[in-house]
Amino acid sequence: MAVSDASAEFHEFFELHYRELARFAHLLTGEADGADDLAAEALVALWHRWDRLRTAEHPAAYARGVVANMARRRVRSAVRERRRVALFWSNRPAWADAPDLAAVVDVRQALARLPFRKRACVVLRHALDLSEKETALALGVSVGTVKSQTSRGMAELERLLGGRAAGELVARRTR
């Protein structure tokens, strides 16, 4: 296949999946601007492997996995940075520990409180409406892991948001 054919295939793949990958990155990281960058970085990485990837059975699942791994690294890096800053300012008076109840209702903030794998499973299953099998492929885990992590993640969201708000999240998925 000629280079221009491969380039056209990748362009088509990009057009089909960029928005979904950016949305996925946004829901994983909570950063709107950073999500576009993350999706673009992932697609650049895919372009470098496109000669092998275009013949893969599930290139979109592979792309989601790349975004998930990049998001995980970004989140971990941010956590490490926050810890360094917190350590630096640790001799300052502490802020009040009482939760801001209005902020807890925000789904994005509640998602941000979930551990990464639970968050990724909930987002892929309920926000992006992927099947359990597609979610497992994207994250490189078993279907059983997707089921358990999604269930636990939804239970945690229900605890954080209240049953009605979490139920509305699922209801939007089934419409």
70, 95, 120 - which closes a domain: 95
Average pLDDT estimate for 125-152: 92
In this structure, the answer to whether residues 18 and 50 fall within a common structural domain is: yes
81's tokens: 């940075």
**pLDDT of 100 over the 50 cut:** no
Average pLDDT estimate for 26-33: 87
95, 123, 158 - which closes a domain: 95
In this structure, the answer to whether residues 101 and 79 fall within a common structural domain is: no
In this structure, the answer to whether residues 16 and 48 fall within a common structural domain is: yes
Average pLDDT estimate for 148-160: 92
In this structure, the answer to whether residues 86 and 102 fall within a common structural domain is: no
Alpha-carbon torsion, ordered 87, 89, 95, 98, to 10 deg: -20
What is the tally of structural domains in the chain? Answer: 2
In this structure, the answer to whether residues 29 and 57 fall within a common structural domain is: yes
Residue whose tokens read 């078993």: 142
Written as one letter, the residue type at 56 is A
In this structure, the answer to whether residues 113 and 51 fall within a common structural domain is: no
36, 71, 95 - which closes a domain: 95
Quote the pLDDT of residue 82.
74
In this structure, the answer to whether residues 73 and 129 fall within a common structural domain is: no
Instruction: Find the CATH number of the domain harbouring 137.
Output: 1.10.10.10
**pLDDT of 127 over the 50 cut:** yes
In this structure, the answer to whether residues 34 and 1 fall within a common structural domain is: yes
pLDDT band at residue 109 using 50, 70 and 90 as cut-offs = confident
Over residues 39-73, the pLDDT tens digits come to 999 999 999 989 888 888 888 999 999 999 999 88
In this structure, the answer to whether residues 70 and 109 fall within a common structural domain is: no
Residue whose tokens read 């793949």: 13
pLDDT band at residue 108 using 50, 70 and 90 as cut-offs = confident
Q: How far apart are CA 144 and CA 147, in angstroms?
A: 5
**Could you tell me the residue range of the domain that residue 45 belongs to?**
1-95
Chain-wide mean pLDDT for the chain? 81
Length of the chain, in residues: 175
Percent of the chain's residues with pLDDT above 70: 78
